[in-house]
A and B are shown apart, each in its own frame.
Chain A
Amino acid sequence: MLIPTVLMVSFAIFFLVKLVPGDIVDALQTTIADVAIDKEALRLEFGLNSPLIVQYGRWLGVAPQPDGGFSGIFQGNLGVSWFSKVPVLELVAMKWPVTLELGLMGLIIGQLIALPIGIYSGLRQDTWGDYLGRTFAILCISVPGFWIGTMVIVFPSIWWGYMPSIMLIPFTEDPIGNLRMFIMPAVVLGMALGGGTMRMTRTMMLEVLRQDYIRTAWAKGLRERVVILRHAVKNALIPVVTMIGLQVPIIVGGTVIIEQIFCLPGMGRLLLTAMFNRDEALISGIIFIFAFILVLTNLVVDLIYAYLDPRIHYK
């Protein structure tokens, strides 16, 4: 199932990016206006004169490159950035740790906010705590990350003169400084993720608490802690795991926006720069990597699901 999906995704990405009017040669023309460029020679260099299907084959690694060799996705190569002439994977290698750290921290913070509130809301349905929790959950979904991010930068600096660092602090050099730098963006990202999980957790808790086996557990005289944690929460969280898997696209979209606000040099910013430069190789490369991660996450979520829920078996 994995390979056909990846193939289909690669096909979609390639032709989507190809459809963008104007190519790199035109973009170069507008950036360096006074230098005469031999357009045809450049197009030849980038292989833009070949038919689209050949270009796609080259990108995949099933058709020979102009120099006769095969290098494409099947060979683990995403081509060379047209703008900077650096291999796409090398460019991405410099940027992915930032995006990964932001995404993971956002995911963890989101669940740390969501799960306790969601479980509490489910246990104390229709009390003030539940109303507050639900209101907070919808608020998390409704407030756009780019606005709250901007506000988080602006108001602390006006009131207390607090300025976040502009330079990236590597984790290996200064772990505390690195975490302090990532905490605000991660909270903003986590809020957007947490809202959905919170509501899902609450709904599942409500459903599970009405099941017969919970009544049996109470009737056996188990302590509240055991009934709630061992019987209810454990079963309620199974669909929530899928939900977390489905949030990966939101994380990817969110990192693009949040890296832009907080000036974090990650893959999202790399993508936006590539889009402004019409760097087709880089754009398709980054989107392909994102999509590949998504396909893998879906697989992993399915496997975890089967592990958590003994009723499901994959053959």
Chain B
Amino acid sequence: MADSSSSRVAKAKRHSRLVGFLIRLVREKPLGTVGGIITLLLLLTGIFADFLAPYGMNESHGVENFLVPPSARFWLGTDNVGRDILSRVIFGARISVIVGLAAATIATILSTVIGVVSAYIGGKLDLIVQRFVDAWMCIPGLIFMLVLIAIIGAGIWQVIIALGIQWGITGSRVVRSAAISIKENVYVEAARAIGCPTTRILTRHIVPNIMAPIITLFTLRVPAMIITEASLSYLGFGIPPPAPSWGGMLSGSGRDYMFRAPWMALWPGLTLSMVVYGINIFGDAVRDLLDPRLRGGVGRYGVRAKKEAKK
């Protein structure tokens, strides 16, 4: 019984913390709130693309509707095979959401595992892993991903894996430096002294205490993933057509017809820029709110301790 009630308390607390976080976001970071709204809009568009798009993503409207400029029927115009650009941009949101979230999740988990293990075990392992990361950072990221995708083939999951590996390894530095400072705390030593297995120390004592940089890493990775996927698709090494990737819409036919039908390249890129901009300012706001160094006065622990003392 005690277990369930304590878990319920923990749940309620987390909930109130999330709400408290949102209230602080709106109150202290108006620009970040705008970014949050753009992020939310992107998410909703991605989820409900089927209901929002006026036409299917690969539905052609016949020869007479090739390269139609923006009009009442086709709000953003049509492309060189008569597909509605608005519908393709809306369905493109779904690809960006999937790629952004999945790749950022893989990258963050990879960074966390590498960073925390390397920092906690230290010694020779840390040295070897860090030299490996050094060497990795010397290979230009975009070029590594081009080669990797040439190996495993183009496609949405391949792109996600390539992005996840590349950014996961380079991001492990951030996690490692955060974990190293936590590792020296007395409570970690105490946990080791009472015989906690290493996995438990890592998952219960170290990772929860570096959650702030991990969340920040995640939010700042999402826009980077979206923009890199677009770049890869633009170069022809990303998600193959006819899938409506925003980057892919700018390459190939979007480029061939760019003088006759500039709207083909204009709208996907504009949407992409706005979305990445929105998530970036949202991520910045999240970082400012989570990073205790940028906050004046008492940290999170102080606040919680006071509340508990009142009870």
Contacts and interface: CB of A to CB of B under 8 A. Distances in A.
Interface of A: 4-5, 8-9, 12-13, 16-17, 19-21, 131, 135, 138-139, 141-148, 150-151, 153-155, 157-158, 249, 252-253, 256-257, 260, 271-272, 275, 283, 287, 290-291, 294-295, 298
Nearest to A147: B269
Contacts of A253: 140-143, 231
Contacts of A4: 131
A139 B265 CA distance: 19
Interface string B140-167: 1111101110110000000000000000
B55 interface: no
23 contacts: A9-B138, A12-B136, A12-B139, A16-B151, A139-B273, A142-B273, A143-B273, A143-B276, A144-B230, A146-B234, A146-B250, A147-B269, A249-B137, A249-B140, A252-B140, A256-B143, A256-B235, A257-B234, A260-B235, A287-B140, A287-B147, A290-B140, A294-B138
Contact of B277 (A8, A139, A283, A298): A139
A154 B272 contact: no
Contacts of A294: 137-140
A147 B139 contact: no
B284 interface: yes
B34 to A, nearest CB: 11
Nearest to B265: A150
Interface of B: 31, 131-132, 134-144, 146-148, 150-151, 223, 227, 230-231, 234-235, 247, 250, 254-255, 258-259, 262, 265-266, 268-270, 272-273, 276-277, 280-281, 284
A146 B234 CA distance: 8
Contact of B265 (A12, A17, A151, A157): A151
B143 A287 contact: yes
Contacts of A256: 142-143, 235
A138 B140 contact: no
A8 B135 contact: yes
Nearest to B269: A147
A12 B90 CA distance: 39
Given A9-B139, A256-B235, A150 B147 contact: no
Given A144-B230, A275-B150, A154 B139 contact: no
A298 B150 CA distance: 28
A283 B223 CA distance: 29
Contacts of B259: 154, 157-158
Nearest to A257: B231
Given A138-B284, A141-B280, A256-B143, A9 B227 contact: no
Given A8-B132, A157-B259, A158-B259, A291 B140 contact: yes
Is the contact region of chain A dominated by helix, strand, or loop, or is it mixed?
helix
Contacts, number: 127
A158 B263 CA distance: 12
B272 A144 contact: yes
Given A147-B272, A154-B259, A142 B223 contact: yes
A260 B237 CA distance: 13
Given A5-B138, A143-B273, A155 B262 contact: yes
A21 B235 CA distance: 20
A138 B31 CA distance: 12
B144 A16 contact: yes
Given A16-B148, A151-B265, A298 B250 contact: no
A126 to B, nearest CB: 12
Contacts of B148: 16
Contact of B151 (A19, A151, A272): A19
Contacts of A154: 258-259, 262, 265
Contacts of B270: 147
Nearest to A246: B137
B140 A144 contact: no
A204 B293 CA distance: 14
Contact of B258 (A142, A150, A249, A271): A150
Contacts of B142: 252-253, 256-257
B139 A287 contact: yes
B58 to A, nearest CB: 22
Contacts of B258: 150, 153-154
Given A12-B135, A144-B273, A158 B140 contact: no
A260 B235 CA distance: 8
A252 B143 contact: yes
9 smallest A-B Cβ distances: which pairs? A147-B269, A253-B142, A142-B277, A8-B135, A142-B276, A252-B140, A143-B273, A294-B138, A249-B140
Given A257-B231, A291-B138, 17 more contacts: A8-B131, A13-B139, A16-B147, A20-B150, A142-B280, A144-B230, A146-B231, A146-B234, A147-B250, A147-B268, A151-B269, A154-B259, A249-B141, A253-B141, A257-B142, A287-B143, A291-B140
